[in-house]
Amino acid sequence: MRKLFSFIYLNFFMIFCATNNVVAQDANTVLATVEDTNITLGHVIALQDRLTDQYKSLEDAVLFKGILDQLIQQAVLAKAIESQKNSIVQYSYENELRAFLANTYISIISKDALNEKDIKNFYEANYSSSQSEKEFNAAHILLKTEAKAIAVKKQIAAGENFSDLAKNHSTGPSGSRGGDLGWFGKGAMVPAFEKAALALEIGAVSDPIETQFGWHIIKLNNSRLKTPPSLEDVRVEIERALKEKYISDKVRKITSAAKVVRAEVSIDPSIVRNIGLLSK
C-alpha cells in the first residue's frame, strides 16, 4: 500500500509540475536580463540572506518579487552610471567592494566564535555567586550650609519625620521623593557619602557630612546581597562579548601575518577633506 501511495503521489507531483511549468532550478537560473547583465536565482537568494528579519518575514511571493524588482532596478541604474563613471565613483566602488568582502569574512568567522564551554566559563568568571555585591537603600537630605544641616539633624533627633524634612528642606533632586535614593552599590556615590552611608546601621541617621554637592544627612533604610543573574539572563550579553573578542583576535592575527608596506611619503592630513583632488 505504501509503494502504491508513493507511486500515486509521484505521478501527481510530476503532473502538477508539468501543468505549472516548474523546471529544475539552480543558482545559475536566469530570472531577468538587463542588456548584457543576467540576474539569477543565486543573486536573489544572496540578497535575501542579507535582509533584516523584518523583510524576511514577508510572504515568499512578495519577498521574491520585491528582491527581483530591486535587483533589476539596481542593474538598470548601474548601467546608467557607466557612461558617467569618474574617479570618485571608481574609488568609492573599490572601497565599498573591500568593505563588503571584509564584512562578509567577519560574518563567516563569527559563526565559529561560540561554544557552550566558553560561554559557561565566561559566566563563572564574571557573573558567579562569588562575585555577589552588597547593595544599599538610603535616603538623604541635602543642605547648603553646615549650620542648616545641624539644625535639621536636631529636628530628626527630636522625632520629626525624615521624609517630611527632606521634602521641605532638601535642595537635591530627590527631595520631592522624601530624599529616597533607591538601591545602589559600592562606587555609585562619591567617596565621603559612601563611607558615611556604609558605616550606618539599618534605620540609623548620620551626622552631617560634606561633599562637593553640599551637606548631607543620610539615613540607611536597608541593605541586601545582590543576586547574580542566571546564565540565561546574560547569555546574549556573554555571546556578544565572546564574539567581539574572537573576531578582534582573529582580525589582529590575520593583519599581523599580512604583508603590509606603508609608503614613506609625507602627507598633509588636511588633504583628507579635499574632494576636488579626485576630479584631477
Instruction: Find out whether 31 and 39 touch, Cβ atoms under 8 Å.
Output: yes
What length is written for the chain? Answer: 280
> Grid cell 501543468 — which residue?
19
- Nearest Cα to Cα of residue 211 among 192, 184, 187, 196: 192
Arithmetic mean of pLDDT, 37-59: 93
Q: Which residue has the higher pLDDT, 245 or 228?
A: 245
With cut-offs at 50, 70 and 90, classify the pLDDT of residue 1: very low
Cα(53)–Cα(247) distance, rounded to whole angstroms? 23
Domain boundary assignment for the chain: 2-83, 133-225
- Nearest Cα to Cα of residue 222 among 276, 164, 182, 261: 182
* pLDDT tens sequence across 191-212: 999 999 999 999 999 999 999 9
Average pLDDT of every residue of the chain: 88
Arithmetic mean of pLDDT, 247-267: 94
- pLDDT score for 153: 97
User: Does the domain at residues 133-225 carry the CATH identifier 3.40.50.2300?
Assistant: no
Arithmetic mean of pLDDT, 260-268: 92
* pLDDT tens sequence across 14-46: 433 444 455 557 999 999 999 999 999 999 999
- pLDDT score for 6: 41
Quote the radius of gyration of the chain (alpha carbons, Å).
34
